[in-house]
Amino acid sequence: MSRSGDRKNVRGDAGGPESGTPGYAEAFLQGSASARDAYGRFNLGIVGNTGVGKSSLVNAVFGRDHAKVGKGLPVTRGVHYYHDASLGIWDFEGFEIGSAQSPRDMLRENLATIARRPAEEQIAVVWYCVSAQADRLTEHDLTMIRELDASGLPVILVLTKVAWTRNPVTGKHRAPRDVEEFRDWCENPVDADGVPVDLPVQRVLLTAAQGKDGKGVGFGLSELVAETLSLAPDNEKDAFRVAQRLSLPMKRQMARPVILTASAASATAAAAPIPFADAAVLAPIQMTMMGRISVIYDLELATMLSASTLAQLGTQITGRALARSFIKLIPAAGNVINGSIAFALTAATGEAWVRLCEALHTGKIDQSELGQVWRDFSPTVVNVVANLVKERGR
């Protein structure tokens, strides 16, 4: 890239064809789009009768009501498909007494319909939901679970609406004794004569979508998230990490390699030290990184923020603006940016962006405040120096 092209980029702070580098908004959008394509969509099958708490469970784990996830497609009688960019829900009706079809025939028909759908809509894991108060599985439940297993689908038996109680002495929560006995039977089922019953489920989990009095996070959800992730195909695990909203560590684990890759790319761009005035060459790398991280936190910033807003954000927090702050705080750094400094600046930016995305993801701040609150999350001299020391120690 020519120095004259770099200077055009610096003056415009937006990149473009004349500069040979993508603009701030374009880089962010490209990063978001490439991440969406790479991570794809996680598809969950969820089975259960009306009122068993399927919608509440999906909302607790994924942060959206499954009946309000994008478009609802009534594929065939007894099953609907709801989806957005990162999550697809195949909602199967439970078997109702009086149905003209047997549960096996109904489920086979629905699974055959799904099998004809595109690859990105195929089910990865099934939650078979039964109320913990049911105290038993019906023959219809057993039939449907066996049919799901025969189709090669991993099934988690989820006992819903468990009324946990808290021990006032130990502070620990536990399910009612009869519910625990129901779970124990499901884990090692036998009939009235003590003969083992075929129940091909991967796990039996006790859950409550909400805490006591309908407030806060419920119980058993972390175990449900962990087990679903473990059963997901390897090529869909990241899609699940993106879609779920309960585990921030899962998302941080995905973000770290993105930050490392961008930091290394920045170091390469500054392998031959670049003048302070040309620091904007780092901005597209940093904005691409930020776009990818926003997808990991399932934030639709690419569609919710205008190109001008993204460009303004980029001028505030990346490239030249970031370098200016660093040099102002550490005058001894001089007026050039070398590979180590570029690496440290980008790594600190990535870490700060992760903190901001987590605040947006958890609802602590509203995305309309993004431009105003960035200064509270922007890289500090401590972050940059720490990353600089770490990089030099490699």
SS3 per residue for 142-207: HHHHHHHHHCCCCEEEEEECCCCEECCCCCCEECCHHHHHHHHHHHCCECCCCCECCCCCCEEEEC
The per-residue pLDDT for 226 is 96
Range among 3-12, 250-259, 300-309 rated most confident:
250-259
The per-residue pLDDT for 74 is 42
d(CA 74, CA 332): 65
Q: Which residue has the tokens 């006992």?
A: 159
Q: Give residue-wise pLDDT tens across range 203-256.
A: 999 999 875 554 556 789 999 999 999 999 999 999 999 999 999 999 999 999
d(CA 242, CA 84): 12
- 264 or 345: which leads in pLDDT: 264
d(CA 121, CA 82): 10
Q: What's the predicted TM-score (pTM) here?
A: 0.82
- Listed in sequence order, the DSSP H helices in 154-247 are 177-187, 221-231, 237-243
- 374 or 355: which leads in pLDDT: 355
Cross-strand partners of 19: none
Q: What is the total residue count of the chain?
A: 394
The per-residue pLDDT for 276 is 62
The per-residue pLDDT for 322 is 62
The per-residue pLDDT for 291 is 93
Question: Once rounded to an integer, what is the mean pLDDT over residues 287-306?
Answer: 87
Give the distance, in angstroms, between the CA of residue 9 and the centroid of all CA atoms in the same chain.
Answer: 34
Q: Which residue has the tokens 């699940």?
A: 240
Confidence label for 42 from pLDDT (cuts 50, 70 and 90):
very high
Burial class of residue 317 in the structure, from the number of CB atoms within 10 Å of its CB (0-12 exposed, 13-18 middle, 19+ buried): buried
What token pair was written down for 86? 């990162």
Mean pLDDT value across the chain: 81
**CB-CB contact of 361 with 247 (8 Å):** no
The greatest distance separating any two alpha carbons of the chain, rounded to the nearest whole angstrom, comes to 86
What token pair was written down for 198? 């075929």
The per-residue pLDDT for 205 is 97
**CB-CB contact of 320 with 61 (8 Å):** no
- 152 or 99: which leads in pLDDT: 152
Question: Once rounded to an integer, what is the mean pLDDT over residues 22-29?
Answer: 82
Confidence label for 17 from pLDDT (cuts 50, 70 and 90):
very low
Among left, alpha and beta (phi > 0; psi -120 to 50; other), residue 323 is: alpha
d(CA 342, CA 264): 9
The per-residue pLDDT for 5 is 34
d(CA 173, CA 166): 4
Strands, E, within 287-387: which ranges?
336-337
Q: Give residue-wise pLDDT tens across range 61-111.
A: 998 876 554 444 444 457 889 999 999 999 987 665 556 678 788 899 999
Confidence label for 374 from pLDDT (cuts 50, 70 and 90):
confident
- 100 or 142: which leads in pLDDT: 142
